[in-house]
Amino acid sequence: MKTFKMLSLELLQDNQLKSYPLIDGIIINQENSHKSWVLEMYMDHQYKTVFEPYLGTDEILEVRAVISYPDNEPAAFRVVVNAVKEIDNQVSVLLKGTLKTIRRQYAEQLLSKLIEEGLEGEDLLTQFKTDMKNRPRLSP
């Protein structure tokens, strides 16, 4: 197993990524035959109501997490909510799932989208740099 510090988490809701601030977080690559990952977030109690409805439903959620360093590309996961536990005035949310493999093609997909939108020259370069940093969700 390998463990990593999770710095941020975004959850895809209604076709938009919503960011949830973390007090602390860890990601574990279980390195098993199922290629399973465990994401545990420690966050403010107010976010319990976001994750609790998914508990026990086996509904697959799409999340993105920044691992180890703030400038790292967010890693995309398909997860289910495995546990939601109150700890004092905070909540621990445990997610289990797999890493999505399409992330390595992001730059090419983004560039193609921006060209289709008619951007070129300096405008294309500026928008590409901005979007590579902010990582907007691209339609399949």
- Give the pLDDT of residue 32: 84
Computed over every residue of the chain, the mean pLDDT equals 89
Distance CA 72, CA 129 (A): 14
More confident residue, 110 or 84: 84
Which residue would you say has higher pLDDT here, 6 or 16? 6
pTM above 0.75, yes or no: no
**Residues 47 and 95: beta-carbon distance below 8 Å:** no
**Mean per-residue pLDDT, 32-56:** 93
> What pLDDT, on a 0 to 100 scale, did the predictor assign at position 50?
95
pLDDT at 51 over 60: yes
First to last CA, the chain: 32
The 3-state DSSP class for residue 77 equals: strand
